[in-house]
C-alpha cells in the first residue's frame, strides 16, 4: 500500500450497528489505528478493552461566569445574550446558566464593570490506548458539553499522526449518528464512508441524508445493510436506491443472535466463534479494501 | 406537561415509545408532538401527519460592508468561534461555524457589519389524528442543529401534553431538546452499550434537574446490567418491552407499535400514569 487510507463508519440513524462493525473491521484490517469519534456516547472501548497509555484534557471553549461582587445588575448582558443563558438572579444580580451558555463572550465584552469572566472549560478527555488490535484513540466528552466537533477533530488528528508515524495502512473511524457537526468533523477528509443502514423506513431515509452529506463533502460512500433479512422488501429498496445513486452495496449482514451475544460478552463478533454475520463482514472488508486501494 | 423521550445510544426505540405514547393518549387529552431529532427526523413515518405549513429557519450571520470597513480586525478578535477573519484588504466570513451571537456586529467600531439570515433548515407543522405535529429538518451540510431545535420549541403549546422526541447522544442537540422538560423518559436496551449510554444520559439529566424514568426496549436480548443499575441508582424502571420480531418488522414498515399490537395501548396509558406519579 502506498499511502494511508481513512475509513469512517457512519449511519445517519443511531443503533444500526456502526460500533459492532467498526470493532469487527478492527480485527480484520492489518496495520491500522482505530478512532472512536462518537465522543458523546462512546462504545467502541467496550469491545476493544483499551489500556490507556496517554491521557489529555480537552478544552473546547469557554463559558461565562459572573463575579457577583462586581455585578451591578444593570442588565446590559441580558439584552445581548442570544442563547437565553442569562437571567435575573438573586439580590438584583444576574445569573448565568452554564448549560445554555455557548461561550461567545459578548456579555463579558459589553459588561461595563468587567463582572463577567470567560473561563476555559474542561469539556472532555481523550486518550491514546493500546489494544490487542492496535493503537486506539478515543475520548469522553464532558456532560452536556459543546464542541463535540472539535473533540472529534482532536481525536482524528492524533489517529492520523499515529498512522503516519508508524507507517500504518488504515485509520478506521467509528463515527456518530446524525448529520450535524460531529458527523461532518468525522467525515471530512476521509477516503471512504461506510454507511451502515437497516432495512426500515427510518434507516433508508437517514441513510439517504447522510450519503448526501458525504457527497456534499466529496467523500465516496459505500453501503452496508445490517439485519438485511429483517425486511427483504426494504432491503431491495435500499439496493435499488444505491444502484441509482452509484453507491456500492458492500455488505448484507444477517440478523443473528450471535451479534448481540458477542456485544454482551465484550468481544468483536468476528472473534465470537463461527457465525454468518462475521463471515459476511469478512467479505465486506475485502470489498472495502479494494475500494480503498483503487484510489476512491 | 412537557415529556421528553431521550436516550444516549441511538436506535433504542425513542421514536417508537414517543409515537406510541402520543397515539395512546390522544383520545384522552390534547397532545402536541415535537420531533426534535432534526438531523434525522423519523416520527412522521409513523404518525403520517398532514403537514399544512412550513417555515425556513435561519441564523443571523455577519455581512460586512467593505466600504465602511477599515480592516481593524476587531470582529475577528471578538469572535469566539473563528468564524470571521480579517486579511489586509478583505474580510472572510465562515457562516457554517458562526453561532449567530451577534458579537462582531455589536462591537464593530465602524458599524460596518449587518446581519443576514443563513438558512440552516426548515420546520414543518401539521396534525395527525388530533395530535398537533411539528418537526424540523436540518439542511444537508449544515453543522448546527440546536437553533433549529429552539425554533421547534418556540411553538410549544403548554395547554397540551407535549411529547418531545429527542435526538440521540448527550451533547448540545440533545440538551437543547430536553431542556425545560418536566420529565424525561430514557429509552435503553439491555446491553453493555445501552447501559453505558444510559449512565451518561442520567448524569446529564440530573445535572439539569429533570426527573427521569427508564424504559427498557428489546428486553430479553442481552443481560441484566441495566436493571441492576436502575436498582443501584434508585431509578424508576417504568416499562419493559420485550424483543419481538413482529414489532421489529412493523417498525421497519412505518407501522406504530400500538397499531401493530393494540394491546400495548393499555401499557402506554399505565406508563403515562406512572410518569405523572414520579414527576411529583
Looking at residue A90, what DSSP letter applies? G
A residues 118-177 lying closer than 8 A (beta carbon) to B: 141, 143-146, 148-149, 176-177
Looking at residue B10, what DSSP letter applies? T
| Cα–Cα distance, B247 to A283 (Å, whole number) | 30
Q: What mean pLDDT is predicted for residues B250-276? A: 97
Tell me the percentage of chain A whose pLDDT exceeds 90. Answer: 87
Q: Is B83 in the same domain as B187?
A: no
Neighbours of B270 (CB within 10 A): 13
Report the chain B residue with the minimal C-alpha distance to residue A229: B249
A232-244 vs A201-216: helix crossing angle, rounded to 10: 20
Q: Is B269 in the same domain as B206?
A: yes
CB of B57 closer than 8 Å to CB of B151? yes
What's the pLDDT score for residue A2?
63
CATH at B88: 3.30.70.20
What's the pLDDT score for residue A123?
81
Q: In chain A, what are the domain boundaries?
A: 5-59+123-293, 61-121
Q: Quick one: which of A175, A159, A232 has its CA closest to A198?
A: A232
Neighbours of B72 (CB within 10 A): 13
Tell me the percentage of chain B whose pLDDT exceeds 70. Answer: 100
CB of A59 closer than 8 Å to CB of A122? yes
Contacts of B252 in chain A (CB under 8 A): 198-201, 203, 230-231, 234
Query: Parallel, antiparallel, or unpaired for β B161-165 and B183-188?
Result: unpaired
What's the pLDDT score for residue B116?
95
What's the pLDDT score for residue B224?
95
* Tens digits of residue pLDDT in B13-62: 999 999 999 999 999 999 999 999 999 999 999 999 999 999 999 999 99
Please say if the pLDDT value at position A165 is more than 80.
Answer: yes
Q: Is B200 in the same domain as B88?
A: no
pLDDT band of residue A104 (cuts 50, 70, 90) is very high
Find the CB nearest B171 among A19, A100, A145.
A145
What ipTM score was computed for the predicted complex, to two decimals?
0.93
Contacts of A115 (CB under 8 A, 6+ apart): A66, A67, A68, A70, A71, A72
Please say if the pLDDT value at position B200 is more than 90.
Answer: yes
Q: Quick one: which of A1, A24, A6, A4 has its CA closest to A251?
A: A24
Does A62 touch chain B if contact means CB atoms closer than 8 Å? yes
Phi, psi angles (nearest 5°) of residue A110 = -95, -5
Neighbours of B143 (CB within 10 A): 16
Number of domains in chain B: 2
pLDDT band of residue A100 (cuts 50, 70, 90) is confident
| Cα–Cα distance, B214 to B189 (Å, whole number) | 10
Does A209 touch chain B if contact means CB atoms closer than 8 Å? yes
Residue A239 host element (H or E)? helix A232-244
Q: Is B104 in the same domain as B184?
A: no
What's the pLDDT score for residue A1?
47
Please say if the pLDDT value at position B223 is more than 70.
Answer: yes
Q: What mean pLDDT is predicted for residues B163-190? A: 96
Does A113 touch chain B if contact means CB atoms closer than 8 Å? no
Q: Is B271 in the same domain as B184?
A: yes
CATH at B255: 3.40.50.300
Does A274 touch chain B if contact means CB atoms closer than 8 Å? no
Please say if the pLDDT value at position A147 is more than 80.
Answer: no
Contacts of A149 in chain B (CB under 8 A): 143
Find the CB nearest B40 among A83, A209, A257.
A209
Report the chain B residue with the minimal C-alpha distance to residue A62: B80
- With H, G, I as helix, E, B as strand and everything else as coil, classify residue B134: strand
Architecture field, domain A5-59+123-293: 3-Layer(aba) Sandwich (3.40)
Q: Quick one: which of A212, A217, A255, A291 has its CA closest to A16?
A: A255
What is the average pLDDT value for chain A, to the nearest integer? 94
| Cα–Cα distance, A228 to B244 (Å, whole number) | 17
What's the pLDDT score for residue A167?
96
Phi, psi angles (nearest 5°) of residue A136 = -145, 125
Please say if the pLDDT value at position A83 is more than 60.
Answer: yes
Cβ contact B10–A213 (<8 Å): no
pLDDT band of residue A144 (cuts 50, 70, 90) is low
B residues 169-228 lying closer than 8 A (beta carbon) to A: 169-175, 179, 191-193, 196-197, 200, 203-204, 207-208, 221-223
Please say if the pLDDT value at position A289 is more than 60.
Answer: yes
Cβ contact B9–A213 (<8 Å): no
Cβ contact A264–B173 (<8 Å): no
A82: Cα separation from own chain's centroid = 28
Contacts of A83 in chain B (CB under 8 A): 101
What's the pLDDT score for residue A274?
92
What's the pLDDT score for residue B33?
98
Q: Quick one: which of B102, B152, B127 has its CA closest to B47?
A: B127
pTM: 0.94
Long-range CB contacts (within 8 A, 24+) of B116-119: B116/B60, B116/B61, B116/B63, B117/B58, B117/B59, B117/B60, B117/B61, B118/B58, B118/B59, B118/B60, B118/B61, B119/B56, B119/B57, B119/B58
Q: Is the dihedral of CA A23, A163, A151, B144 positive or negative?
A: negative
Report the chain B residue with the minimal C-alpha distance to residue A180: B143
Angle, CA A197 vertex, CA A192 and CA A201 arms, to 5°: 140
Report the chain B residue with the minimal C-alpha distance to residue A60: B81
pLDDT band of residue A296 (cuts 50, 70, 90) is very low
pLDDT band of residue A295 (cuts 50, 70, 90) is low
Architecture field, domain A61-121: 2-Layer Sandwich (3.30)
Q: Which domain holds residue B147?
A: 2-57+120-279
pLDDT band of residue B193 (cuts 50, 70, 90) is very high
Query: Parallel, antiparallel, or unpaired for β B31-35 and B131-138?
Result: parallel
What's the pLDDT score for residue A63?
92
| Cα–Cα distance, A296 to B104 (Å, whole number) | 41
| Cα–Cα distance, A137 to B86 (Å, whole number) | 35
**Nearest chain B CA: its distance from A167 CA (Å):** 32
Query: Parallel, antiparallel, or unpaired for β A51-58 and A124-131?
Result: antiparallel
**Nearest chain A CA: its distance from B144 CA (Å):** 6
Report the chain B residue with the minimal C-alpha distance to residue A209: B140
Q: Which three cell numbers stand for residue B236?
A: 424508576
Q: What mean pLDDT is predicted for residues A141-158? A: 86
Q: Is B53 in the same domain as B153?
A: yes
**Nearest chain B CA: its distance from A5 CA (Å):** 23
* Tens digits of residue pLDDT in B51-109: 999 999 999 999 999 999 999 999 999 999 999 999 989 999 999 889 999 999 999 99
DSSP B158-227: TTSEEEEEPPSSSSHHHHHHHTT-SEEEEEE-SSHHHHHHHHHHHHHHHHTT--EEEEEEEETSS-SHHH
CB of A37 closer than 8 Å to CB of A124? no
Report the chain A residue with the minimal C-alpha distance to residue B251: A200
Q: Is B85 in the same domain as B167?
A: no
Contacts of A106 in chain B (CB under 8 A): 78, 101-103, 106-107
Does B11 touch chain A if contact means CB atoms closer than 8 Å? yes
Q: Is B25 in the same domain as B106?
A: no
Amino acid at each position: 500500500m502506498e499511502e494511508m487510507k481513512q475509513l469512517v463508519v457512519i449511519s445517519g440513524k443511531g443503533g444500526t450497528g456502526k460500533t459492532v462493525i467498526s470493532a469487527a473491521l478492527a480485527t480484520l484490517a492489518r496495520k491500522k489505528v482505530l478512532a472512536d469519534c462518537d465522543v458523546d456516547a462512546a462504545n467502541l472501548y467496550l469491545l476493544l478493552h483499551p489500556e490507556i497509555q496517554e491521557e489529555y484534557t480537552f478544552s473546547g471553549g469557554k463559558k461565562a461566569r459572573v463575579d457577583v461582587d462586581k455585578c451591578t445588575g444593570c442588565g446590559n448582558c441580558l439584552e445581548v445574550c442570544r442563547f437565553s443563558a442569562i437571567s435575573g438572579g438573586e439580590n438584583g444580580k444576574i445569573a448565568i446558566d452554564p448549560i445554555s451558555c455557548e461561550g461567545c463572550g459578548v456579555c463579558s465584552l459589553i459588561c461595563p464593570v468587567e463582572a463577567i469572566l470567560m473561563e476555559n472549560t474542561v469539556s472532555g478527555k481523550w486518550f491514546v490506548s493500546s489494544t490487542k488490535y492496535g493503537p486506539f484513540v478515543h475520548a469522553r466528552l464532558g456532560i452536556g458539553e459543546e464542541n463535540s466537533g472539535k473533540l472529534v477533530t482532536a481525536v482524528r488528528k492524533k489517529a492520523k499522526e499515529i498512522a503516519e508515524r508508524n507507517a500504518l495502512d488504515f485509520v478506521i473511524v467509528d463515527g456518530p449518528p446524525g448529520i450535524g457537526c460531529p458527523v461532518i468533523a468525522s467525515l471530512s477528509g476521509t477516503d471512504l464512508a461506510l454507511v451502515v443502514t437497516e432495512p426500515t423506513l427510518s434507516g433508508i431515509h437517514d441513510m439517504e441524508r447522510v450519503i448526501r452529506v458525504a457527497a456534499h463533502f466529496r467523500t465516496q460512500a459505500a453501503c452496508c445493510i445490517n439485519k438485511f433479512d429483517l425486511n427483504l422488501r426494504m432491503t431491495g429498496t435500499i439496493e435499488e436506491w444505491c444502484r441509482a445513486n452509484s453507491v456500492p452495496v458492500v455488505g448484507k449482514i444477517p440478523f443473528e443472535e450471535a451479534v448481540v451475544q458477542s456485544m454482551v460478552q465484550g468481544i468483536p463478533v468476528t472473534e465470537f466463534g463461527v457465525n454468518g454475520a462475521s463471515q459476511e463482514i469478512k467479505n465486506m472488508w475485502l470489498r472495502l479494501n479494494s475500494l480503498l486501494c483503487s484510489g476512491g | 406537561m412537557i415529556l421528553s423521550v431521550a436516550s444516549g445510544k441511538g436506535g433504542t426505540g425513542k421514536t417508537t415509545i414517543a409515537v406510541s405514547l402520543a397515539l395512546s393518549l390522544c383520545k384522552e387529552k390534547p397532545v402536541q408532538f415535537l420531533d426534535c431529532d432534526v438531523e434525522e427526523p423519523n416520527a412522521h413515518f409513523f404518525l403520517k401527519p398532514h403537514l399544512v405549513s412550513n417555515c425556513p429557519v435561519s441564523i443571523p450571520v455577519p455581512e460586512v460592508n467593505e466600504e465602511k470597513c477599515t480592516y481593524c480586525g476587531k470582529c475577528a478578535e471578538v469572535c469566539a468561534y473563528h468564524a470571521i477573519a480579517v486579511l489586509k484588504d478583505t474580510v472572510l466570513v465562515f457562516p457554517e461555524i458562526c453561532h449567530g451571537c451577534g458579537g462582531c456586529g455589536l462591537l464593530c467600531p465602524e458599524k460596518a457589519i449587518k446581519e443576514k439570515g443563513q438558512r440552516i433548515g426548515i420546520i414543518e407543522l401539521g396534525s395527525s389524528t388530533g395530535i398537533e405535529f411539528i418537526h424540523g429538518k436540518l439542511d444537508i451540510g449544515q453543522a448546527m442543529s440546536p437553533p433549529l431545535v429552539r425554533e421547534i420549541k418556540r411553538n410549544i403549546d403548554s395547554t397540551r401534553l407535549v411529547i418531545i422526541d429527542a435526538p440521540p447522544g448527550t451533547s448540545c442537540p440533545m440538551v437543547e431538546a430536553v431542556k425545560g422538560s418536566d420529565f424525561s423518559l430514557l429509552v435503553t436496551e439491555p446491553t453493555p452499550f445501552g447501559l453505558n449510554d444510559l449512565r451518561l444520559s442520567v448524569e446529564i439529566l440530573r445535572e439539569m434537574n429533570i426527573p427521569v424514568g427508564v424504559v427498557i426496549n428489546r428486553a430479553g436480548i442481552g443481560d441484566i446490567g441495566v436493571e441492576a443499575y436502575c436498582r443501584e441508582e434508585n431509578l424508576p424502571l417504568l416499562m419493559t418491552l420485550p424483543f419481538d420480531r413482529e414489532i421489529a418488522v412493523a417498525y421497519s414498515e412505518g407501522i406504530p407499535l400500538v397499531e401493530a399490537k393494540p394491546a400495548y395501548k393499555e401499557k402506554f396509558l399505565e406508563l403515562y400514569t406512572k410518569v405523572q406519579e414520579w414527576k411529583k
